Amino acid sequence: MTTALRRLRNYIDGEFRDAADGRTTEVVNPATGEPYATAPLSAAADVDAAMAAAEAAFPAWRDLVPAERQKVLLKIADRFEERAEELIAAESENCGKPIALVRSEEIPPMVDQIRFFAGAARMLEGRSAGEYMDGFTSIIRREPVGVCAQVAPWNYPMMMAVWKFAPALAAGNTVVIKPSDTTPASTVLIADIIGSVLDELGHSRGVFNVICGDRETGRLMVEHKVPAMASITGSVRAGMQVAESASKDLKRVHLELGGKAPVVVFEDTDIAKAVEDISVAGYFNAGQDCTAATRVLVQDSIHDEFVAALAKAASETKTGAVDDEDVLYGPLNNANQLKQVKGFIDRLPAHAKIEAGGEQVGDKGYFFAPTVVSGLKQDDEIVQQEVFGPVITVQSFTDEKQAVEWANGVEYALASSVWTKDHARAMRMSKTLDFGCVWINTHIPLVAEMPHGGFKKSGYGKDLSAYGFDDYTRIKHVMTSLDG
């Protein structure tokens, strides 16, 4: 007996629609490896319709006083709380994530982030107006950029959608957002929530639009003539393609791409505490996090003790079913990602040693065991390239100089952490580590008030914080003659 697949649809100008040409793609639950829904495979006509809706809605949304946009965002946050169980179920099915962790680790920060940007809507700061030339007064206007084309990733589809739409809407922009083709369900549900709020408060539902599709759909969005800005969270390759496409008409680009976070552990560290925190930060969400603590550099004097403790922690870390409250993480997101993680393990050099894990778990879904690999060298593939899986690598360094050299010696520069009791050393490391974030004696906490974003091939632009809000605005100088 075949179970009917759920039908997901685009959300354009306040209506749920199939793709104009009727094409669909199957959506697979990574915990089972089985399809559970179909989603539109949107093409040019769908992108045109979504952009037209966002463009038409923009003038009225732009011209609202900030307090009115704040009301909308606060109501959206309230509705997220009211419909939390629906969002949790959608995201768990989207990603195979443990239900308890989505409830505790994703819903509260998302609601908080929406409320933060609701407040940011009323904090449009500029430099002081004044007379910088005799006889003239200059003022600064902070304005929205226009329609924003946004592409969200599959690792945190629900939260990354929030990181994109909340600052954009708060600043007065309108949005067309595309979820990953493997994880559209929660974003479609978000469209229903936001659309209902816009309708209740008397605003055009064209302010927020969702189109489902693949890489070609994303390309059409970025190259479309309407958007003033393209924002993507994804791979370095995808970011480069977006930057190239957007350059054809000089669109603004906001990129949050890959990471290869160094976790630098010095010999004065509390090993038990560091191992506990690092293993959670490395394996949470199956290591599918650009900031995951998966590249450990540990001082040689404590290397063996640290590796043994980390391997023990890995053996005690559990992956499994979404309703098991004892699991730390669920499956990898899709079959291609499982293949990629397996490939890194299969290609390990002879000098590498698998201390724990290293294999697929179970006979269905895309689960992979918590893994520790030691004995690695700086130029090894698994050290240099993002695995995006539950695999923690360990290197041994001799001194602070070598630790900095190896930590910075990758193409990514998103996040990092330093583990030491020496305050002066921590301050030196925070200065010399070339990453957008440096955590000290912790790894992975984020707050709405502080920026998230990197350097080098990790992209540019900031998410969260007032800096993230600023990215969705433009600056206009107005000069007035005092002669009347």
Work out the angle at residue 330's Cα, subtended by the Cα atoms of residues 325 and 332, and round it to the nearest 5 degrees. 175
What is the DSSP track for 316-371? H--B--TT-TT-SB---SSHHHHHHHHHHHHT--TT-EEEE--SEESSSS-EE--E
- pTM of the shown model: 0.96
Work out the angle at residue 121's Cα, subtended by the Cα atoms of residues 117 and 127, and round it to the nearest 5 degrees. 120
CB 19 within 8 A of CB 11: no
Q: Quick one: 213 and 290 in the same domain?
A: no
pLDDT band at 126 (very low <50, low <70, confident <90, very high): confident
Q: Quick one: 282 and 387 in the same domain?
A: yes
Please give the mean pLDDT across all residues of the chain.
97
Does residue 483 form part of some domain?
A: no
Number of domains the chain is built from: 2
Q: What is the CATH number of the domain that holds 293?
A: 3.40.309.10
Q: Quick one: 357 and 374 in the same domain?
A: yes
Span 150-172, pLDDT tens digits: 999 999 999 999 999 999 999 99
SS3 category, 12: strand
256 is a catalytic site residue: yes
Q: How far is 46 from 276, CA to CA, in rounded Å?
A: 48
Query: Which is catalytic among the residues 95, 148, 212, 290?
Result: 290
Span 408-430, pLDDT tens digits: 999 999 999 999 999 999 999 99
Indicate whether 385 pLDDT > 70.
yes
Span 106-116, pLDDT tens digits: 999 999 999 99
Does residue 453 form part of some domain?
A: no
Higher pLDDT, 199 or 2: 199
Pairing type for strands 34-40 and 24-29 reads: antiparallel
Span 267-321, pLDDT tens digits: 999 999 999 999 999 999 999 999 999 999 999 999 999 999 999 999 999 999 9
Q: Quick one: 251 and 271 in the same domain?
A: no
Average pLDDT value for residue range 61-73: 97
What is the DSSP track for 18-86? --TT--EEEEEETTTTEEEEEEE---HHHHHHHHHHHHHHHHHHHHS-HHHHHHHHHHHHHHHHHTHHH
Q: Which two tokens stand for residue 238?
A: 């995808």
At 2 the pLDDT is 52
Q: Quick one: 199 and 270 in the same domain?
A: no
290 is a catalytic site residue: yes
At 484 the pLDDT is 75
Q: Quick one: 313 and 356 in the same domain?
A: yes
Domain of 469? 6-257+458-477
CB 28 within 8 A of CB 49: no
At 1 the pLDDT is 44
Query: Which is catalytic among the residues 91, 93, 106, 256?
Result: 256
Taking only Cα atoms into account, the Rg of the chain, rounded to an integer number of angstroms, comes to 23
pLDDT band at 387 (very low <50, low <70, confident <90, very high): very high
Give φ, ψ of 128 to 5 degrees. Answer: -60, 135
CB 370 within 8 A of CB 390: yes
Work out the angle at residue 21's Cα, subtended by the Cα atoms of residues 17 and 26, and round it to the nearest 5 degrees. 75
pLDDT band at 127 (very low <50, low <70, confident <90, very high): confident
SS3 category, 285: helix
Span 17-57, pLDDT tens digits: 999 999 999 999 999 999 999 999 999 999 999 999 999 99
